Structures are given as structure tokens and as C-alpha cells.
Amino acid sequence: MENDEKKTIVLASYGIMPEKDENEPIYKLGEVCEDGDRFRVESMIALEGEYGIYFLMCGFVNQSVKPVKVTSSATLSKTIAGVINSTREFKVPFIIDVKKGINPAGQPYTAGKVTL
């Protein structure tokens, strides 16, 4: 009998992720940010799931004082992983300059530039 259970593995953590409130929503970054917004990441967990590596991040949109938890898109996950792998002492906080657009196939995407 095969185990069809989907497992998520914690690969690394950066900063201290606040405890999860049972009713607290976790958004996709593109749901809380518009094109040109800045997302300041205060804490982050690198995860590996069914579709590869992604990041759960807690931070602030622009000058907001209320933190929000978001997950990264596939495009942004590749960018963040590249910065982590090329930076000797990667740490939080860091800034994501959000870029939203439409790919050649007509699908919306959310990407970003990471600034340490």
C-alpha cells in the first residue's frame, strides 16, 4: 500500500516566525501586494513540498504596521533561493520589491527583486 500523504519538510528558518493563530490567514504574496509595492520580510521558513521549494514569510507591506504571512510564488522562490545560495551570511530582514505581470502564455505572475 502506497502512502499518498503529502509531506512538507522544513529546510531552514530565518528569524523568529510568530505562532500561527488558528484563524489567521496565510496569503500568496500577490494577494496582498500590488505591482511596485515593497514587502519587508522579518522572518521566513524555507519549505519543500509536493511542488518544490517555497517560502513562508512574515512581514509588512509598504509602511504597514500589521504583519501578514505570505507564501512565495514559484518565480519568487527561485529568486530568493538564488540570493540565499549566493550570499555567505543571508539573514532577515530583507526587502522584496514586488513585480506583477502577465507571462507570454497570458497567465498572471508575481515576482520580485530581493534587497538585503
Question: For 56-102, how does the pLDDT look when each residue is reduced to its tens digit (9 = 90+)?
Answer: 999 999 999 999 999 999 889 999 999 999 998 899 999 999 999 99
pLDDT at 1 over 50: no
Task: Supply the mean pLDDT for the chain.
Answer: 92
pLDDT band at 22 (very low <50, low <70, confident <90, very high): confident
What pLDDT sits at residue 7? 87
| Residue 19, C-alpha cell as written in the block | 505562532
What's the CA gap between 88 and 21, in Å, rounded? 33
Predicted local distance difference test score (pLDDT) of residue 72: 94
Judge contact between 57 and 91, C-beta under 8 A: no
Cell of 82: 538564488
Q: What is the pLDDT of residue 45?
A: 96
Residue 3 has pLDDT above 80, yes or no: no
What would the mean pLDDT of 21-31 be, rounded to a whole number? Answer: 91
Domains and CATH numbers, the chain: 9-16+25-115 (2.40.50)
With a cut of 60, say whether residue 4 has pLDDT above it: no
Alpha-helical regions (H) of 3-97: 29-32, 74-86
